[in-house]
Structure 1
Amino acid sequence: MATWNKLYYARMHDRLPREIRDMINAEFWDEDYLKGFEGSEVAMKAMGESADTHLLQPNRILCISQVVLPEYVGAEAAKENVQMWHQTAARICPMPRTWLVLSGYNLGGKLHTVICKDTFGVGLDPATALRFLNIEVDDTSLVLGHKHSAFEDAASRQNAFNLLLRIKKKFGFKLNFIIYHDCIRLKMWPEILGLLRPIVEVIEREGGHVTVESDYSGNNTDCMDETSGVRTDIEHLVRTYDPATWDQSMKQGLIDYFEEVRRL
């Protein structure tokens, strides 16, 4: 089977231009496939993770996902199919947050894997192919010195987030941040806003799309008067963050907002 596939793709590569090959390869990535077990496996491989084979129907996955495996279709064809997966998933799926979701634990290592590491072994620099990325972290994981911080020091944190600037095709790129809070700790916000602002500025200036959301759920905490499930768009705070005016205006605006949410 692998020998036949390699021969088929080698002939297709020799006889058809890239535009036609892309049209053929795109047929593998329909919406059902992208949202199903097979699409999940491809996303996990892109993140350097292994699929739980007994949950993801391994026989079906092996039949479909061979298009991204060089041992089945050859390195060049697999590379083109991985590139097509990045493009199609970002275009077809209205909520691409089901793929390439990075959490707070070892966030620096995860960013390096997704942006810099050729996890498919096809000779592809992911920074040239990425079209969307989702980062979902607790507020405490971004703050230095906290026991749950994902970073040892400011240098390692900055180096990790600077990896986002390696993404080559920023025009149309989708970057989504969700920052989770089990308690509103406004003293942490300046550090978080200051960390995200330069990243958001560069990506948006070069035509990318960035969303930043605060997700507060007070469940299972000792905080009083909590209101669970409050999600707030805060990208405007990131864009306009100024340390000089934080205490005078921005901070009070947030206090007023959350007080109103609590009252309702």
Structure 2
Amino acid sequence: MKGELSRAWNMLCSARMQERLPVEIREMIYAQIWSVEYLHSTRQPRQQSGPPGHSDPRCHTHVARPDFMGKETALEMVRAWYEAAATLTPDTFTIPDTQESIQQTVCEDRFKVGLDPATVLRTLTIDFNETTSRLASPYCKWPDADTRRKTFDLLYRLKKKAGFRLNFRICTPKFRLNCWPDFFDLLQPTVKAFDDEGAIVDVQAIHCSRGPHPTPYLFVDLNSIVRSYHPVTWKQGVIEYLDSVILALIILMQDRR
């Protein structure tokens, strides 16, 4: 009974807000609701079957449900959630490179409010696992190159590419440079297309610890390599950078003795 009264009251308040307040004022209200604290508190917990280190990007709260807030308010609330989460908690949109996660994030109306996420997404980070993401790996998660290519082509559905932040991260506990060209071949067309439309695209390799919650140790900037990949010369710059980092670490350890 108490739940029904709460629902009826929310629906009434929502209807009055739609009738009496202009959209600019409503957006100001939504921005106040979606604070950093509330965004974190309403994040959907990761499903047991999901990949380690990633969570369901939906929030879990009645303010985004049409049956509690009414269809119009819930739709506006979810649009405001995408905007606030992209700015305040961008890690909300960090996903693994699986067919399911990319399809759901880019194409599916997971809030059930009649919203195409491709029209409101403003940031996206896709994490690759060096072992399971490569087609040549015996542990590859992809059935074939065509399926992987078509899945990544879904990114072209994103409507507002100008200013969009798109990050690709190759995560591995051990750098194996011979494995990276597979990623370069996959990413080059997408990076070029988003660059041409004014997006902010960043490509990195991350050396991280093993385990369900890996800790990043070292970041390698791959932006220039992806954009001007040369199969013969690309390794040299990476090797020189890694050598300089290792030398700096040795000197630091010696200084601490």
Q: TM-score range by the shorter chain?
A: 0.7 to 0.9
**Residues 140 and 48 of structure 1: is their aligned pair in 2 closer, same or farther, counting only changes over 3 Å?**
closer
Q: Does 1:232 align with 2:216?
A: no
How far does residue 156 in structure 1 lie from its aligned partner after superposition?
0.5
The residue number in structure 2 matching 1:37 is: 41
- Structure 2 residue corresponding to 1:207, chosen from 198, 217, 222: 198
Paired residue type of 2:235: K
Q: Trace 1:1-264 onto structure 2 (pairs within 5 A).
A: 1-34=6-39, 36-38=40-42, 40-41=43-44, 49=56, 65-93=61-89, 96-97=90-91, 99-104=92-97, 107-217=98-208, 229-241=217-229, 245-247=230-232, 249-264=233-248
Structure 1: runs of 5+ lacking an equivalent: 52-60, 221-227
Per-residue deviation, residues 162-211 of structure 1 (Å, max 9, x unmatched): 11111111122222222112222222211211211211222222222222
| Aligned 8 A contact 2:165 2:201 in 1 | yes
The residue number in structure 2 matching 1:225 is: none
Structure 2: runs of 5+ lacking an equivalent: 1-5, 48-53, 249-257
* Normalised TM-score (structure 1): 0.79
* Percentage of identical aligned residues: 36
- C-alpha separation in 1, matches of 2:148 and 2:17: 45
- C-alpha separation in 2, matches of 1:141 and 1:161: 16
* Normalised TM-score (structure 2): 0.81
Supply the RMSD in Å over aligned alpha carbons. Answer: 2.6
| Aligned 8 A contact 2:220 2:238 in 1 | no
How far does residue 27 in structure 1 lie from its aligned partner after superposition?
1.3
- C-alpha separation in 1, matches of 2:95 and 2:148: 15
How far does residue 12 in structure 1 lie from its aligned partner after superposition?
1.6
How many pairs align? 233
